[in-house]
Homo-oligomer: A and B are copies of this chain.
Amino acid sequence: MEWGKKAGEILARVRAARPLVHHITNLVVTNVTANTTLAVGASPVMAHAPEEVREMVRLARCLVLNIGTLTPALVDSMIAAGQEANRAGVPVVLDPVGAGATALRTSSAARILSEVRVDVLRGNASEVAIVGGYGATVKGVEAADRPENPAEVTRRMAERLGMVVAATGPVDYVSDGRRTLEVRNGHPLLTAVTGTGCMATAVIGAFRAVEEDGVLAAAAALAYFGYAAELAAARAEGPGSFQVHLLDALYLLQPEELARGARLEEVVA
């Protein structure tokens, strides 16, 4: 209840402030992440040219980087924007889409993390494990390795990476290495539409733009996104109508409803 209320308050602040969120993202989701950002109540700008990303990010209150359909040149732009964001005190959210699938994806995620101070990393469990070095180095280590303890896995990766890690799946876990929150909102239809992970990351960007506490911002964003998905799924017939209702639900969802609908709580170790 307390956490849900906080989530609602952040949503209200997004809508009051309408923060500009700068996205450098992939070709599949440019339209839908811009529309998601608008539906939340923030203001999106998409810009990737190396000639303008530094200037643009200084106008923004959050930078969202997404490496789907990346090229090395695009990663260069992401790093230029990310470093300028670091200098300007603009928080950076990274979505390592496809990390682990190819060497380019894995190494680009690693390169961004080594050259840019990332505030929040949002990926599915396997992407996060690759980026967090968990898949590679902790193999064989027992307890945390077990699927029954994903909260602890997420906490350890956040601790190792020194940032907020949001690992999404049927249950989402968000940790900064100390506190860990879990989010039980969401719906299976999210897996039938492309780019819903990227949309979740975009929502995190909008929430992080107005909330300094990255664990709270990311977990609240995921509760909001997941709860909107539940509302949308109740009215959808398939993935086409789900996507339409999802944008409507994100737009229509009010802070007090979110406070009631968020299934968000702290994980006690």
Contact = CB atoms under 8 A, between A and B. Distances in A.
A52 B241 contact: no
A70 interface: yes
A106 to B, nearest CB: 10
A31 B34 contact: no
Contact of A46 (B47, B69, B239, B244): B69
Given A31-B32, A52-B105, A45 B248 contact: no
B245 A243 contact: no
Chain A contact patch, size range: 35 or more
A97 B70 CA distance: 23
Contact of A31 (B31, B71, B252): B31
Interface string A182-196: 000000000011110
A170 interface: no
A143 interface: no
Interface stretch (A22-30, A83-91, A145-153, A219-227): A22-30
Nearest to A58: B102
B251 A45 contact: no
A194 B56 contact: no
A194 B239 contact: no
Contact of A30 (B69, B102, B103, B239): B69
Interface of A: 26-32, 34-35, 38-39, 44-49, 51-52, 55-56, 59, 68-72, 98, 101-105, 192-195, 236-241, 243-252
Given A47-B98, A49-B104, 17 more contacts: A27-B27, A27-B30, A28-B34, A31-B31, A31-B32, A39-B192, A45-B98, A49-B69, A49-B70, A49-B72, A51-B72, A56-B101, A240-B243, A240-B248, A241-B244, A243-B244, A243-B247
24 contacts: A26-B46, A27-B46, A31-B194, A34-B195, A35-B193, A38-B192, A39-B192, A39-B238, A39-B240, A46-B69, A49-B69, A49-B70, A49-B71, A51-B71, A51-B72, A51-B103, A236-B248, A238-B247, A238-B251, A240-B244, A240-B245, A240-B247, A241-B245, A241-B248
